[in-house]
């Protein structure tokens, strides 16, 4: 990438950073209604500005070394050549990193997410693998510095997940342009597993499927829900949770009447907290439906990727006997499955992000 293009991309970043810093010099800055939003934007821009300044310094050093290399002083020219060699090794890496920071991003990438994991074809084995995937995602979220909360779960007799729903969010003060959605969005679709179930006496390999859906969190400004458009039903929570929640109607089922979208939450002892979680989930579901209707390409893409949970509609296969995970969308294969299922998903996510950048999406 040439210097002029990078400078052109960097110019509005530097300008906006200066503009916000001017605002921050106002002693009443913290009283502004957009104080939180501007503070967050400043943190993100500061990261980019620092990298831009680092790159500009290296480029200026290279120009200076070029001039010294033509000085006619033998000792100075030797030092300049050594300096140029060192800079030539540093600049490409900085430019690559800068391009990743400055390239246009999906505006949803910084969003928190609601992650839905459902057992598809395969009965108990599919439910057990759904719990394996949930553990993998939560470990990966923790490694990225994200927080997670359980919204709802439905267990099988052997501890598998018929369905599990989690809210994954960035910790306050650690916001970046690549938040939970930017990393988890590639996981939506059908995940196929091939392995010998613990209950299989003959040692035959079974194929099962798990459906994963990833919904970006919707803010109130994204989806406005009128109180009169919501029907709230309460009921007694079931399963683990202690006698308290089983004796009270703390679980919440929330229906958005205009769209028919239904969500539920029973993981908190407090009905109020379950209502808060359910409303957050409801907004995300409605936003997802709105986006699918507005963008036909996304609707078609989601139908292909999420589908019905049948094993024939797959984005990725986990082959236990061969210790192999293959992502069929990009033809990428990795091994060392135990490590990946323990949350070390970096190689998979990096490959998918690189493919997205190559396609210019």
Q: pLDDT tens digit string along 201-230? A: 677 889 999 999 999 888 766 777 888 888
26's tokens: 């106002």
User: 126, 209 in Cβ contact below 8 A?
Assistant: yes
113-359 has CATH 3.30.70.1660 classification = yes
pLDDT of 220: 67
Residue 308's pLDDT band, with cuts at 50, 70 and 90, is very low
pLDDT of 101: 79
User: 168, 146 in Cβ contact below 8 A?
Assistant: yes
Residue 261's pLDDT band, with cuts at 50, 70 and 90, is confident
Taking all residues of the chain, what is their mean pLDDT, rounded to a whole number?
Answer: 84
57's tokens: 């310094």
Buried b (16+ CB within 10 A) or exposed e, 324-333: ebbbeebebe
Least Cα distance to 253 among 270, 231, 268, 273 occurs for 231
């Amino acid at each position: 990438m040439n210097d002029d293009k990078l400078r052109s991309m960097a110019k509005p970043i530097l300008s906006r950073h200066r503009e916000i810093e001017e605002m921050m010099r106002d002693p009443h800055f913290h009283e502004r209604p957009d104080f939180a939003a501007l503070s967050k934007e400043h943190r993100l821009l500061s990261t980019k500005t620092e990298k831009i300044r680092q790159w500009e310094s290296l480029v200026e050093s290279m120009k200076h070394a070029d001039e010294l290399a033509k000085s006619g002083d033998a000792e100075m020219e030797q030092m300049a050549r050594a300096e140029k060699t060192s800079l030539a090794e540093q600049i490409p890496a900085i430019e690559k990193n800068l391009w990743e920071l400055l390239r246009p991003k999906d505006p949803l990438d910084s969003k928190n997410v609601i992650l839905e994991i459902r057992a598809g074809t395969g009965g108990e084995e599919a439910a057990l693998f759904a719990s394996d995937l949930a553990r993998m995602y939560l470990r990966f979220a923790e490694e990225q510095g994200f927080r997670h909360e359980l919204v709802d779960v439905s267990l099988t007799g052997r501890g598998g997940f018929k369905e599990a729903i989690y809210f994954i969010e960035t910790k306050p003060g650690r916001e970046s342009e690549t938040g939970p959605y930017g990393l988890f969005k590639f996981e939506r679709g059908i995940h196929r597993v091939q392995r010998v179930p613990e209950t299989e006496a003959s040692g035959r390999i079974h194929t099962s499927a798990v459906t994963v859906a990833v919904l970006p969190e919707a803010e109130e400004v994204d989806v406005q829900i009128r109180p009169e458009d919501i029907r709230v039903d309460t009921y007694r929570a079931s399963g683990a949770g202690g006698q308290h929640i089983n004796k009270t109607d703390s679980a919440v089922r929330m229906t958005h009447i205009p769209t028919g979208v239904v969500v539920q939450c029973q993981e908190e002892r407090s009905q109020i907290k379950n209502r808060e979680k359910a409303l957050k989930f409801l907004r995300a579901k409605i936003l997802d439906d709105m986006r699918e209707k507005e963008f036909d390409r996304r609707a078609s893409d989601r139908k292909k990727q999420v589908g019905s949970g049948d094993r024939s509609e797959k984005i990725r296969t986990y082959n236990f006997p061969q210790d192999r995970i293959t992502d069929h969308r990009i033809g990428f294969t990795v091994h060392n499955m135990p490590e990946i299922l323990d949350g070390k998903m970096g190689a998979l996510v990096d490959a998918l992000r690189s493919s997205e950048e190559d396609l210019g999406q």
